[in-house]
Structure 1
Amino acid sequence: MKYHRLALALVFSVAALTHVPSAEAAPSTTRIKNIVLVHGAFVDGSGWRPVYDLLARDGYNVTVVQQPLSGLDEDVAATKRALDRQDGPSLLVAHSYGGAIITEAGNDARVAGLVYIAAHAPDEGETETGNGQRYPAAGRDAITKTPDGYTFIDPARYHAEFAADLPAAEAEFEARSQMFTAGKVFSTPIVDPAWKKKPSWYMVAQADRIISPDLERMYAARAHSYKVEIPGASHSVYRSHPWEVASLIELAARTAPSGG
């Protein structure tokens, strides 16, 4: 695994220098050391543990946000609280719905760049629901709603739709411990998309059934993100491919402008 990760990092570094000048035009002389990880809907921050361990081992200061999933404004506020604790420029990294959160929170002057891991990156006035209708996801009907307006994934379908490349026992635990997510977060429009002003990196999960891979590609192309694609990866790519995810984050940390 160590050599696999080193090889991936080398590939990412070479690609960054040859294919994406828009995001990598001004490499930093020193790496960004602060990494803030934001989880998505139906999960909590513990899913970042494999990525956290790799980044922490490599000397990064890593913070995991535990936002309440009660509304976009509240979730952005929780992310900004984490940013307030950083001692310098930071990278915001998000999975899934977390992408909408960092798209707003990323306007903070301390944010040097944005890393989207199979995540939403809506434009001004767009919503996740609207974009999902334009690019329908294969497993979208697995999401259901409680009488008080919160959403969750049918536990019987969680493994197949959300985490097909995780062991069955791990997916079962995630299904039974998932966080209920306010339905309104998916229909709240973005006001000021930070990816229009900040460099970004994007990981596409090619077998994603919660967000269409074509929608992910659209997000990456529109933001002029440095993009990598992971064959066979489910929506849980941040858990099933932690080495690739950590390598992409570290690439961003080495090449993002350190001035924020």
Structure 2
Amino acid sequence: MTTPAPTVVLVHGAFADAAAWIGVISELRSCGIPVIAPPNPLRGLASDAAYVASVVSQIDGPVILVGHSYGGALITVAGAAENVVGLVYVAAYVPHEGESLGELQGRFPDSPLASNLKEWTYPLLDGDSAIEVTIDEAAFPSVFAADVAEDVTRVLAAAQRPLAAAAFTETASAAAWRTKPSWALVAGADRAINPCVQRFGAERAGAVVVELPDASHAVALSEPKRVADLIRDAVRATSRPGRP
């Protein structure tokens, strides 16, 4: 007996929105794979993971969660949902339970992202304010999307979605990769998340790892077919005949 094809849920990371998956969505839909790319609130690890989990809970049948960048931390937590059958990390953080992104990054040298963040403030409901960050526009092309056309990177830099700084210090409440199969694409020329951080997390999770040596952090935009190929591998593996 073959299980139903999983729905692929694509979770974008910081400084971007769901449009970053446009090429990947096209590739997956051309193969008849159901896919959605919900917005990521980017307000904090716990609340963002809860939002992703709420999306997953409203999908009938199995789900494969795909996380890019900070989205990898979210699928690590939200992936504990019962109907999640696989996790795919794309140039992503893969934290352990009880670990923050700051702690995970702290094991390795900083990437150029760290020195090119711009701080902003945003209001909280209690009348206080909190800090959020974007990438300096002049540095954005080289840090985030060095292998994407310059006219596109200029638009991406202007349309960034900021990430709450608290996301770097909150700890992951679960590590779904401990019980769910996982796959990971490492962007070897990433200047936003040190590729060593990506490799370490992926290997610790026992993920099937594919590395693109020349890929930037924006690999889903620059190499959508390669990203979609890895997701298709996960779909095939979790839809195989006889799967419990």
Does the TM-score normalized on the shorter chain lie above 0.5? yes
The code of the aligned residue for 1:250 comes to R
1:200 alignment counterpart: 182
For residues 5-52 of structure 1, what are the alpha-carbon distances to aligned partners after superposition, in whole Å with 9 as ceiling and x for unaligned? xxxxxxxxxxxxxxxxxxxxxxx9456331000000111111111101
CA distance in 2, matches of 1:146, 1:84: 33
Which runs of no fewer than 5 residues in structure 2 stay unpaired? 122-129
CA contact (8 A) 2:14 2:163 kept: yes
2:136 is aligned with 1:136: no
Q: 1:95 aligns with which of 55, 61, 68?
A: 68
Partner SS state of residue 73, structure 1: helix
CA distance in 1, matches of 2:146, 2:192: 11
Higher helix fraction (1 or 2): 1
How far is the alpha carbon of 1:234 from its aligned partner? Answer: 0.5
Q: 2:173 aligns with which of 191, 194, 210?
A: 191
Question: May I ask how many residue pairs the two structures share in their alignment?
Answer: 233
CA contact (8 A) 1:137 1:209 kept: no
* Identical amino acids, percent of aligned pairs: 39
2:11 alignment counterpart: 38
2:150 is aligned with 1:173: no
CA contact (8 A) 1:162 1:236 kept: yes
CA distance in 1, matches of 2:202, 2:46: 24
CA distance in 2, matches of 1:32, 1:208: 32
1:67 alignment counterpart: 40
TM-score, normalised relative to structure 1: 0.86
CA contact (8 A) 1:95 1:118 kept: yes
The code of the aligned residue for 1:245 comes to V
CA distance in 2, matches of 1:179, 1:185: 14
1:105 alignment counterpart: 78
1:39-54 pair list within 5 angstroms: 39-54=12-27
2:225 alignment counterpart: 243
Q: 2:119 aligns with which of 118, 126, 145?
A: 145
1:116 alignment counterpart: 89
2:235 alignment counterpart: 253
CA RMSD of aligned residues (A): 1.6
The code of the aligned residue for 1:219 comes to G
Partner SS state of residue 68, structure 2: strand
For residues 104-139 of structure 1, what are the alpha-carbon distances to aligned partners after superposition, in whole Å with 9 as ceiling and x for unaligned? 000000000100001011112211112212112431
CA contact (8 A) 1:63 1:82 kept: no
CA contact (8 A) 2:93 2:201 kept: yes
For residues 51-88 of structure 1, what are the alpha-carbon distances to aligned partners after superposition, in whole Å with 9 as ceiling and x for unaligned? 01111111011111202111222211221232123220
CA contact (8 A) 2:144 2:218 kept: yes
Partner SS state of residue 173, structure 1: helix
CA contact (8 A) 1:205 1:230 kept: yes
